Amino acid sequence: MRLAELPLELVLAIAEALQNEHDVNTRVRTCRRFHQALNTFLYQYNVRHSGGSGMYRASFTGNASAVGKFLDQGADLNASPSGAPLISAAIRGHYNVVELLQDEELAALLLNAGADINLGGYSGNTPLSELLEQGRIETVKWLFYHGAKVELDDPYGGTALTISSENGDEEMVRFLHEKDMA
């Protein structure tokens, strides 16, 4: 009997006995039947054995579908061993928070699932401080209106106002003054 012909219960038992996610993923990619049977298991495996670290990568690349699957399996948005998924998206060049937050599906998914909009990554920078550095005023405003704390300091003691001033971002400085945050 070939491996692909085994009952699904045995396929799952074999997958459970594998030593790492790479081994499980190798089986997932073998054939359509294994993909259907083991793909959800792979997300569960990552959450159980790696603290949902794959969600960091999914956020980093803007994969809303994968983020949703990790959340369905109980991944904690604020406890990734690699850093908070929201900040990982901000740090990434092409797939940054601007694109992710403009994708209402992913933004709602992250925030409704309890993502801490003020949680810093491994560098200590929050999504807000990253976006201030990049001059992304529209997304900074979006973060503000969704609970980002502009009074939080970055790792170097900079506030939203000092970062904006140092970058010569007059529009952001005006916005902060209008909102009495200066």
pTM for this predicted structure: 0.54
Helices (H), the chain: 8-17, 21-28, 32-50, 53-61, 64-72, 85-91, 97-102, 104-112, 127-134, 137-145, 160-166, 170-178
Q: pLDDT tens digits, residue range 115-164?
A: 788 877 767 778 788 778 877 777 788 778 888 887 777 777 778 888 88
Q: At the top level of CATH, which class does the domain 51-178 belong to?
A: mainly alpha
**Domain parsing of the chain, residue ranges:** 51-178
